């Protein structure tokens, strides 16, 4: 049976709220974004193509998407551990640790950038150790990855926490009592239940990293072809008052990010449908 379009709820006002939602989203998201596309449309197709496929721009896509992906993956693994620890165990100073997770959110990005550069540059606390091991962190792609990992952490932890809290330990006990090993319990019981939240956190961290500018420009060193991130190239186009060129690169970023986010969402929907046994 088809579900009715409008479901009755205790709180009335579907029409007004939908209208508001449409209006609000248009004002905040759609109108600014369509301006982006309109501005890009002022340049011809061939000049658009030559701007967005310039070797320097392509190198920056690779760095931006690669480092963002690496950062989000690292956060997915270690953020998971952090979230798990914070939900399942209690220990002295837990609230403090919990609050610390949000710091990358709250700090102005330039401040995080300067702080990270101070620590990871050649004469910094961590940098001097890495340097003696032959690893250059600041002003290399590695530095970009570090900054993007830093800013993405809260997204994974904060989306996973409520999901882990919802996960009833009784399921794990039941699985164990039925003879499942530890790895099996994790893979078959815990992980599937948390996957949607993990994917959301991963997607948020990834998306946030793609657009990050403030913290990265300090630690990246901005060397053409090597450590230039795409947002920096957008800024450098704007410095030449090349609005169309800047928006052209922005459009590519936008379309690519949207496609990736959509793909992640699709995986999530399929997963949820499978878990709920509907569909």
Partner 1 sequence: MRRTACLSAFSAVLLSCGILTGCGSSGGSGAGASVELLNVSYDPTRELYQDFNTAFAKYWKEKSGQEVTVRQSHGGSGKQARGVIDGLEADVVTLALAYDIDAIAEKSKLVAPDWRVRLPHNSAPYTSTIVFLVRKGNPKKLHDWTDLVQPGIEVITPNPKTSGGARWNYLAVWGWMLKKELGDLSKLKDPAQADAVKQAQDKAREFVAALYHNVPVLDSGARASTTTFTQRGIGDVLLAWENEAFLCLNEPGGELIEMVVPSATILAEPPVALVDGVVDRRGTRAVAQAYLEYLYSPEGQRIAAKHYYRPVEPDKADPKDAARFPAVNLFTIDEAFTGWSEAQKTHFSDGGVFDQIYKPGK
SS3 content of the chain, % helix, strand, coil (to 5): 75, 0, 25
Q: Is 130 in the site for partner 1 (CB under 8 A)?
A: no
Q: What mask, x for binding partner 1 by CB under 8 A, covers residues 11 to 40? A: ---xxx-xxx-xx--xx-------------
Nearer to partner 1, 5 or 91 (CB): 5
Of 40, 68, 109, 121, the one binding partner 1 (CB under 8 A) is 121
Q: Which C-beta is closer to partner 1: that of 236 or that of 257?
A: 236
CB of 233 to partner 1, least distance (A): 8
With CB under 8 A as the contact rule, the residue among 30, 135, 225, 275 that binds partner 1 is 225
Query: In this chain, which stretch among 92-100, 111-119, 155-163, 164-172 interacts with partner 1, using CB under 8 A?
Result: 111-119
Q: Which of 7, 46, 90, 240 binds partner 1 (CB under 8 A)?
A: 240
Tell which one of 1, 2, 3, 6 touches partner 1 (CB under 8 A): 6
- Give the interface with partner 1 as residue ranges (CB under 8 A): 5-6, 14-16, 18-20, 22-23, 26-27, 51, 54-56, 114, 117-118, 121-124, 138-139, 217-218, 221-225, 232, 235-242, 245
């Amino acid at each position: 049976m088809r579900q009715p379009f409008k479901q009755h709820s205790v709180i009335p006002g579907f029409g007004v709220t939908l209208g508001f939602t449409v209006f609000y989203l248009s004002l905040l998201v759609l109108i600014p974004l369509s301006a982006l596309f309109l501005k890009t449309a002022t340049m011809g197709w061939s000049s658009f193509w030559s701007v967005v496929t310039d070797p320097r721009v392509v190198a920056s896509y690779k760095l931006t998407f690669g480092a963002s992906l690496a950062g989000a993956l690292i956060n997915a693994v270690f953020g998971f551990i952090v979230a798990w620890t914070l939900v399942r165990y209690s220990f002295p100073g837990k609230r403090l640790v919990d609050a610390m997770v949000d710091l990358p959110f709250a700090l102005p990005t330039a401040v995080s950038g300067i702080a990270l550069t101070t620590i990871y540059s050649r004469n910094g606390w961590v940098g001097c150790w890495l340097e003696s091991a032959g690893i250059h962190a600041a002003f290399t792609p590695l530095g970009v990855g570090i900054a993007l990992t830093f800013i993405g952490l809260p997204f994974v932890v904060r989306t996973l926490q409520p999901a882990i809290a919802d996960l009833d330990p009784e399921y794990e006990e039941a699985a164990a009592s039925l003879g499942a090993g530890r790895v099996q319990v994790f893979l078959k019981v815990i992980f599937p239940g948390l996957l949607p939240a993990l994917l959301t956190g991963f997607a948020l961290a990834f998306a946030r990293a793609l657009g990050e500018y403030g913290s990265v420009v300090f630690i990246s060193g901005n060397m053409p072809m090597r450590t230039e991130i795409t947002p920096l190239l957008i800024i450098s186009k704007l410095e030449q008052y090349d609005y169309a060129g800047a928006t052209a690169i922005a459009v590519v970023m936008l379309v690519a990010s949207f496609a990736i986010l959509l793909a992640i969402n699709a995986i999530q929907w399929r997963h949820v449908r499978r878990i709920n046994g509907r569909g």
